[in-house]
Amino acid sequence: RMAHMGNWSFSSSDRQMACSEELARIFGAPVEALQCASPEAFLARVREPDRERVGSARSRVARDGHPYQLVFPIERFDGVVRTVFEQAEPVRDQHGRLIGVEGITQDITERVEAERQIRHLALHDVLTGLPNRDFFLELATPALEQARRSQAQCAVLHLDLDRFKSVNDALGHGGGDEVLRTVAARLQTGTRGGDLTSTSRAVHTELVARIGGNAFTLMLVDIGRPDHASTTAERL
């Protein structure tokens, strides 16, 4: 219970599923669902994009004896979405014949969310919420590679707020922070319109980054001509 881990098993003959009380709690399953549990019923709780992948893994372990470890989201019986880790392996008799499957399912939602928060903090500027320098480079590298392969053009714009120290001197650091947040919001708003370049595709807002104390960088993808970048810079 402390590990939020439930166990389950089913035989190859009757496909009736035996599951622990903790598994039922993980799925938010009512008593009647627990009493008539089946692999198909629990597979139906897997979110649609992952259902085929999980179903294929379970079929392979039951048919061919291939164990698996998977992470996937489920929708509990009460509609709440959780993330689980599941591990399953075949059960064999004394002659080595497959007679069933047993496994464990663990609710790891909190851990996944904590890891997501840690990654977000590591890759985003705390003040503005924009990607930081490291994340900008991580995003820009595949965008540049894609542009090279498709022979498209990109541009990188660098914006530096001059004499920003005078803002902090006049308004204090709180006022200076508000100026930076306002600038970040305007940059994001200005790049959402999709009409900054001559192409029909919108510029990805995630390619706006704060890379220094009062410095920002924008990457424009799929621009039509080099002068479209200068037009965008003047607009901003």
Q: How does pLDDT run across 3-13, given as a tens digit for each residue?
A: 999 999 998 87
d(CA 16, CA 55): 16
- At 100 the pLDDT is 92
Locate 67 and state its tokens: 């164990």
The tokens for 100 are 């069933």
143 in Cβ contact with 207 (< 8 Å): yes
* Cα-Cα end-to-end distance for the chain: 55
Report the distance separating Cα 41 and Cα 10, nearest Å: 13
Q: Write down the residue that tokens 């928060």 correspond to.
A: 117
* Res 192: pLDDT: 57
Yes or no: say if 72 and 53 are a contact pair by the CB < 8 Å rule: yes
Neighbour tally for 158: CB within 10 Å? 11
pTM listed for this prediction: 0.64
pLDDT, residue 189, reads 83
Q: Are strands 68-75 and 81-92 parallel, antiparallel or unpaired?
A: antiparallel
Q: Which of 70, 61, 86, 69 has its CA nearest to residue 5? A: 86
Element (H, E) at 171: helix 164-192
To the nearest 10°, the Cα dihedral for 225, 228, 230, 233? Answer: -140
The candidate with the shortest Cα–Cα distance to 197, out of 225, 218, 216, is 225
Alpha helices in 10-163 (DSSP H): 21-27, 31-35, 39-43, 48-63, 109-123, 133-150
Q: What does the pLDDT read at residue 198? A: 35
pLDDT score recorded for residue 226? 83
Give the residue ranges of the chain where pLDDT is below 50: 193-206
Spatial separation of the C-alpha atoms in residues 217 and 195, rounded to whole Å: 18
Output the pLDDT for position 227: 85
Cα separation of 42 and 72, whole Å? Answer: 13
Q: Coil, strand or helix: which one is 167?
A: helix
Give the per-residue pLDDT at 87.
Answer: 97
